[in-house]
Amino acid sequence: AQSVTQPDIHITVSEGASLELRCNYSYGATPYLFWYVQSPGQGLQLLLKYFSGDTLVQGIKGFEAEFKRSQSSFNLRKPSVHWSDAAEYFCAVGASKAAGNKLTFGGGTRVLVKP
């Protein structure tokens, strides 16, 4: 069975500093990987996704993620955070033949941004 681990429950970062959110997955075949962001009281919005090809994936809002098969990781990064990046972030893995149909989500990482 597939699983996703986000080791950090909370991360506090200063505005303008860099951000990295960790995601480790367990899946037997080629994973389909996603990062979603959830602002307070809102649904989830897709930041970026990885299916194949270049292992460095660019997303919206200045985010990027790097797929490392050897480490079973898909960490999310942003070079300089803005106060509006304060939110909860979810990593998810999908089954290969129906990516997105049965997504397994990690527990989420809540990001707090200090002024």
| Contact string (CB under 8 A) for another protein, positions 33-72, x = contact | -x-x----xxxxxx--x-x---------------------
CA distance 107 to 20: 16
CA distance 86 to 75: 17
Minimum gap (Å) between residue 104 Cβ and another protein: 8
Minimum gap (Å) between residue 108 Cβ and another protein: 6
Minimum gap (Å) between residue 17 Cβ and another protein: 25
Do residues 109 and 8 lie in contact, with contact meaning Cβ atoms separated by under 8 Å? yes
CA distance 113 to 100: 30
Task: List residues binding another protein (CB under 8 A).
Answer: 4, 6, 9, 32, 34, 36, 41-46, 49, 51, 90, 92, 97-108
